[in-house]
Structure 1
């Protein structure tokens, strides 16, 4: 399992294959019964291509801002998750820039977070109201619970990521104070 996680963490191709399979399954699940399966594959390839292009641009942008390549970027992100402070001064400098970039992006995205969560809550309530108006509540309740679950997961992940970055920032500061 650890090797699979490492492969998914480092390889954009592995992420693309996994995303394609997940999108294909979701597309097949929510498609009309009379649709041809080739349309599922084409739509899934389109959605996956858009997602992978977005991820590649983000990864390249952050790698350029921190002064490292994407493979090393993935290793440094793993070290942030595992709370490992690099011993090499050059790697610590790159890690410091990476942590600062992550915190800057999360704080900037935090300004819009209440609006996104409010929109998701509004959609969940709207789905429930439409379900109650039509008399069928099973799918609307499932959709509303799913949306609320996603909103809570976003908040939990953001809080955890910020705590990890702040911990690494203070650990790097302590390490730099110790080393003359």
Structure 2
């Protein structure tokens, strides 16, 4: 299992194949009446978009850290495990990567209240449509799922910021 996780972490191709399989599976589950070729076309489109976004993000992070995409994958794994590298060059690359990621998250944090407000408006709109339509089952399920998603986003954001700040302080103390 460890080797599969490492392979998925490092290989963009493996992630693309996984996205394709998930995309086809989701299409098969929700569009049972359509032909399987349509499932494959939609799954391929979803995988291409997801892989393109991931490739651009990795390339940008690699430029910020001064390393290649494989180096970024190794550095992010070490950050997740809170491992400080012994090599000074790798430590400097990790510092640059963490500074870039913290800057990105802090800039994106300015928009977080607006995104959460938009989610709240969508939930209120769905509940209003449910009241007008006479059925509240789906709108209430959507509201609960949206609230859970928003809390999960906030928790993961706080946890990631804590990890980055902890790693930044560890890197500064060992410099």
Q: CA deviation at 1:164?
A: 0.5
Q: What CA deviation, in whole Å up to 9, does each residue of 1:37-95 have, x standing for no partner?
A: 21121111111101110110110111012110111111110111111111111111101
RMSD: 1.4
| Residue segments in structure 1 that go unaligned for 5+ positions in a row | none
In structure 2, what is the equivalent of residue 4 of structure 1? 4
Q: Which residue is 2:136 aligned to? A: 137
Aligned counterparts of 1:30 and 1:127: Cα–Cα separation in 2: 21
Q: Once superposed, which parts of structure 1, at least 4 consecutive aligned residues long, lie more than 6 Å away?
A: none
1:78 aligns to what? 77
CA distance in 1, matches of 2:130, 2:23: 26
| Residue 22 of structure 1: aligned partner | 22
In structure 2, stretches of 5+ residues that fail to align are none
Superposition TM-score, scaled by structure 2 size: 0.93
Structure-2 separation of matches of 1:70 and 1:94: 12
When the two structures are superposed, what TM-score results if normalisation uses the length of structure 1?
0.91
Q: CA deviation at 1:119?
A: 1.0
Show the counterpart of 2:164.
165
How many pairs are equivalent? 175
Matches of 1:21 and 1:125, distance apart in 2: 34
The 8 Å contact of residues 82 and 167 in structure 2, kept in 1 or not, is answered as yes
CA distance in structure 2 between the partners assigned to 1:136 and 1:40 by the alignment: 30
The structural deviation recorded for 1:172 is 0.4
The 1:144–1:30 alpha-carbon spacing in structure 2 relative to 1, beyond 3 Å, is: farther
String of CA shifts for 1:105-160, please: whole Å, max 9, x gaps: 00111111111111112112221221232122332222222222221111111111
Distance 2:144 2:21 in 1: 24
Displacement, 1:34? 3.5
